Amino acid sequence: MDIFALIALFVWYAIAGTILFIIALMLARLILNKADLNPFSRPVIMVRRLTDPLVNPVRRGLAPLGFSPNVAPLVVILVAILMGYFASEFVGTVLFMARGLLASVLLARPISFVGHLIFGALAIYALLIFMRIVVSWGASPHNRLLHFLIRATEPVLGPFRRIIPPLGVFDISPIVVLLLINLLQRAVGATLL
């Protein structure tokens, strides 16, 4: 097993462990809320102290949409799973690119080096576009992550948005850009890797 596989395995376990910890905390919060325990008891205070930083921003985001604040822990679980997916995809892409770059340098293959660099950059950019789509559904307009994703992806999405008209309320330009990035990745894989 090489170092890249070990790093990938470690990161996967770290992400999965974090997600499971968040799920356990949110389920504990839901159970304690339904059990109608004394709100000043030690277990309730401890669980609230651990979960409030995750639940309160989601609760504030759900309130204008008309959702009950009691579903906020379930939404936190879904967000944690999505963020875990994004993190594992990002790390996998970076490790694939690093492995390819290292192999290209060791084997003195400059064309393969450039191919891995382009392939990795396209994969990271596609992931940023996908994150923008998902984060824009639920994040507030003042979210820093959303602002970063907009600044990073708008130079490519903007011209496509002007060319491709929306279908009703749906903007399909990110889907077209993701398909083009996938096509470019396949071309790079076929010609340079």
pLDDT, mean over the chain: 86
Residue 182 clears pLDDT 70, i.e. is over it: yes
Buried (b) or exposed (e) across 71-103, using 16+ Cβ within 10 A? ebbebbbebbeebbbbbbbbbbbbbbbebbbee
CA 41 to chain centroid: 36
Tens digits of residue pLDDT in 63-83: 777 778 788 888 889 988 988
Find out whether 157 and 129 touch, Cβ atoms under 8 Å. Answer: yes
Where does the pLDDT of residue 138 fall: very low under 50, low under 70, confident under 90, or very high at 90 and above?
A: low
Of 99, 164, 153, 107, the C-alpha closest to 131 is 153
Tens digits of residue pLDDT in 7-23: 999 999 999 999 999 99
Find out whether 8 and 91 touch, Cβ atoms under 8 Å. Answer: yes
As a whole number, mean pLDDT of residues 112-137 equals 88
